[in-house]
Amino acid sequence: MKKRARKNRRSKSLAFRARAIAREIGDLLVRKSRLYGDSLDHPLRIFTRKLSTVDGLAVRLEDKLARIRAGRRDDSEDSHVDAIGYHLLLLAAKRMGRR
């Protein structure tokens, strides 16, 4: 009985729920990459010729955060998920040595 109580408590903790959400966001990023191609890593560069991958991600993240901060009516959980996704992509790009 004690094991079950510990498991239930653990599965309801914020850290465990956050890990599950992080996995969902990671899966979403992979699905979007498959659907739209790798436009973040290989953008068309029509207007952003001089921006690096990291700088381009930072611009997208900054724009998303500005929208969240403005508190627009269309601000939903999706906006926060998008911002977390951009954070993860930015971190991945930096760890891969992208500039």
One digit per residue, the tens of pLDDT, for the chain of length 99 reads 456 556 566 667 999 999 999 999 999 999 998 998 877 777 777 887 888 889 989 999 999 999 888 887 666 788 899 999 999 999 999 999 987
CA 68 from centroid of its chain's CA atoms:
14
- Backbone CA torsion sign across 89, 98, 96, 41: positive
What does the domain layout of the chain look like in residue ranges? 2-95
| Interior angle at CA 80, CA 25 and CA 19, nearest 5 | 40
Report the distance separating Cα 36 and Cα 80, nearest Å.
Answer: 20
